[in-house]
Structure 1
Amino acid sequence: MSSTHTLLELAHQLEQAGKPFVIATVVWCERPTSAKPGARAIIEADGHITGWIGGSCAQPVVVREAVRALREGGEPSLLRLGAPVTVGIHRDVRAFPMSCASGGILEIYMEPHLPQPQLILVGDSPVVAALSQLAPVLDFAVTHLNHTDLSQVPIDQRTLIVVATHGQYDEDVLTQALQSPAAYVGMVASHRRADACRSYLRMSGLEERQIARLKAPAGLDIGAMTPEEIASSILAELVQVRRQSILMEGGGENVAAEGQDSLSSAVHSTALDPVCGMMVEIANARHLSTYNGRNVYFCCPACKRLFEANPEEYLVQSER
């Protein structure tokens, strides 16, 4: 089985399991580089990498940038290693020095794949019917419930909940939803009905910070009148929530969810290689020197040798 076929199978498995990942593909190189155009790897949320996009000079940067993109919900971008520019961002290109003594330049296309956010629709109304039809077009995974028990569906920080029961059991559902880690909880109702519902929730013992999470009436104020227009205003608000990265950071009180934990644990402590300017993961660093009681980390033995030959020169440069 070819490596490409194996990576495609892994990507399919991760998508089916609802796990985030990044496909990194080398699209251009200037020799000498160990990876050539077409080289590809998959990086998961915990930093695990499958495939090949370069050795010790390239891989740590690619993994770190992949984890960052997943954490921030980033769009596809181009990563350039070896460009003779200072570390920074220029439009859609993130440029970093190539630390290998042999030189070379790599351009790597970073393509994040994030699970569809789950949209739970509660109730049986024309607005819910319209949302059920329109939401999948905007890449929301829809779950429709006609009862008050939210325990039957998994809810995490990527979940959005819209309640539209026409007063039949709004309060019962909202009591559960507002205590969940859902990123968004909205209710289709008039302002008067929403105020009455908040009073009930307050008397039921919910805290003010929980009640404050309720968006009611749900949706952006666009003057919507018909069920389809109201559904459109709600979807516009949900897209706004998604684009503000609230889903990735957690919108509820209980944000210690498994997905967020795996992302956070992948952000390792790093140090700057004073010779080439590359960021080195301290936990996995193989090349270390001690100078004036301070540990200095390097990406490769060549950088270590250059530093130890004249440490003051490189320490001064790195502090500028």
Structure 2
Amino acid sequence: MLDIAEELNRWVEQGRDFAVATVVATNGSSPRQPGAALAVDSDGTAIGSVSGGCVEGAVYDLCLQALEDGGDTVLERFGYSDEDAFAVGLTCGGIIDILVTPVRVDSPAREVFAAALATAACGDAAAVARTTDGPADVMGRALLVRPDGSYDGSLGGHPELDRTAVGEARAMLDAGRTGTVLIGEDGSRCCQPLTLLVESSVPAPRMIVFGAIDFASALVRVGKFLNYHVTVCDARPVFATAARFPEADEIVVDWPHRYLESAETDSRTVLCVLTHDAKFDVPLLELALRLPVAYIGAMGSRRTHEDRNKRLREVGVTELELTRLRSPIGLDLGARTPEETALSIAAEIVAARRGGSGVSLTGAHTPIHHEGPREPAGRIGSVA
């Protein structure tokens, strides 16, 4: 649901009734992961997606029906059928569970949903925990959990249950993850195990591009397309300008290593070093290779790479630290233009983030979707 927070927040502000269908569990190959949502308002307007098209029509009808009935939250399963070519199901052969929740103006959960959507739309960190499996009286109930542990809402009048759920949701939020958690019978305080879907909304991950060159301009555009918060840093003010990088979120004129010393980075941050100039690269990479970031790539020929590694060893960078450096940067696509090179770099970043091999899927026997660590597309965190 939080993956379409901006649009849904506008619906809330406009006082619209709507129903939201959210993927809560998947099995086998499936086009969307837990947290993906489709919402339909009372006029029939739809936003979002739960399957990339396979079951959108059926889920759309479920949302309209939920609004018409004004009933409770319902859980629906969609799978694949070899026997009936006209059956509603996933052509990819997977199974998805969809939670459909009506959110009317007078709905008890409206206040929690409104607060969660407003928080996510502003780019602030928050998690929503909803019951997807358990007693009927707690199905679909929601909690909004903040990083400091404060929360709004209730799962059904059990303070111990709320505290347990808040603890689980806060842990997921700290990791920027979206997925399901099981609260056992002892911890549920309602004599029955509960399954919660926890959706984490966190600020966009950072991409810092060092070197205000033409390749950087193309990489900025691709980085924004991948929903990164993109910063361009260069020590030369004549090149680091808003006119040259209109799509960058931030432009910094400073020596790269000096900026990185004070920059906020985390385990999702991507560092792309495009300067291929030793006086910039060496002090920058000496620092970068010791930071707990997701990706470090450096541009340059193989000769530049060998010379750079030699210089880094001379300043004390270890062989283990050097193994973190992606250089020459990008996957082998045969790229030549700035746009093709940016695509090559982005492809390597996605492969590193998702655990992909970077090889062609044609003729391969590897999974199309990997279950490795994932980052948010937009504000939604990754699947557990």
Q: Show the counterpart of 1:66.
A: 169
Paired position in structure 2 for 1:231:
342
| Equivalent residue in structure 2 for 1:200, among 281, 295, 311 | 311
The alignment status of 1:53 with 2:155, answered yes or no, reads: yes
Shift of 1:53: 1.7
The letter of the residue matching 2:275 is: T
1:43 aligned partner: 145
Q: How many residues align?
A: 229
1:102/1:183 CA distance change after superposition, 3 Å = closer
Q: Using a 3 Å threshold, how does the CA distance of structure 1 residues 137 and 100 change in structure 2: closer, same or farther?
A: closer
- Matched to 2:129, the amino acid is A
CA distance in 2, matches of 1:99, 1:161: 42
Give the aligned residue type for 2:319.
E
Mean CA deviation greater in 236-245 or 182-191? 236-245
Higher RCO by CA contacts (8 Å cutoff, separation 6 or greater): 1
The Cα of 1:185 is off from its aligned counterpart by 1.5
User: What SS does structure 2 have at the residue aligned with 1:119?
Assistant: strand
The equivalent residue for 1:270 is none
Give the structure 2 partner of residue 282 of structure 1: none
Q: 1:23 aligns with which of 121, 124, 128?
A: 128
The structure carrying a bigger helix percent of its residues is 1
Q: CA deviation at 1:120?
A: 0.1
CA distance, structure 2, for counterparts of residue 99 and residue 173 of structure 1:
49
Whether the 8 Å CA contact 1:22–1:110 is kept in 2: the answer is yes
Distance 1:166 1:114, change over 3 A: same
- Within 5 A, what are the aligned runs for 1:243-254? 243=354, 244-245=372-373
Q: Which residue of 2 aligns with 1:187?
A: 298
User: What pairs with 1:263-282 in structure 2 (closer than 5 Å)?
Assistant: none
- CA drift at 1:133: 0.5
Secondary structure at the aligned position of 1:110 is classed as strand
Q: C-alpha separation between the residues in 2 aligned to 1:105 and 1:141?
A: 39
SS at match of 2:177: coil
Q: Deviations over 1:105-159 (max 9, x none)?
A: 7664422213211000011223211111111121211111112232453223332
TM superposition score normalised by structure 1? 0.58
Judge conservation of contact 1:183–1:246 (CA < 8 Å) in 2: no
Contact 1:7–1:50 at 8 Å: present in 2 too?
Answer: no
Letter of the 1:137 counterpart: F
Instruction: Provide the rounded CA distance (Å) in 2 between the counterparts of 1:108 and 1:247.
Output: 21
Q: How big is each residue's C-alpha offset from its partner over 1:137-184, in whole Å with a ceiling of 9 and x where there is no partner?
A: 212111111122324532233321101014272223223322433332
The alpha-carbon distance between structure 1 residues 113 and 241, as it changes in their structure 2 partners (threshold 3 A), is: farther
* Structural RMSD (CA): 3.6
Structure label with greater radius of gyration? 1
Q: Distance in 1 between matches of 2:339 and 2:301?
A: 17
Is 1:159–1:247's contact at 8 Å kept on the other side of the alignment? no
Deviations 1:18-45 (A, max 9, x none): 53x32123467644x4x464x3212234
Separation in 2, partners of 1:177, 1:46: 29
Q: Give the percent of matched residue pairs that are identical in Structure 1 and Structure 2.
A: 27
Cα distance in 2, alignment partners of residues 62 and 152 from structure 1:
36
1:274 alignment counterpart: none
Unaligned runs of 5+ in 2: 1-107, 236-254, 355-371, 377-384
| Structure 2 equivalent of residue 160 of structure 1 | 270
SS state of the match for residue 58, structure 1?
helix
CA–CA distance in 2 between the matches of 1:58 and 1:6?
Answer: 17
Q: Give the aligned partner of residue 215 of structure 2.
A: 127
Partner of 2:234: 146
Residues of 2 paired with 1:170 and 1:131: CA distance?
Answer: 18
* Distance verdict in 2 for CA 1:101–1:166, change over 3 Å: closer
Q: Distance in 2 between matches of 1:189 and 1:26?
A: 51
Which deviates more from structure 2 when the two are superposed, residues 9-18 or residues 233-242? 9-18
Larger deviation, residues 65-74 vs 138-147? 65-74
Asked whether the equivalents of residues 7 and 51 of structure 1 are also in contact (C-alpha less than 8 Å), the reply is no
**SS of residue matched to 2:130:** strand
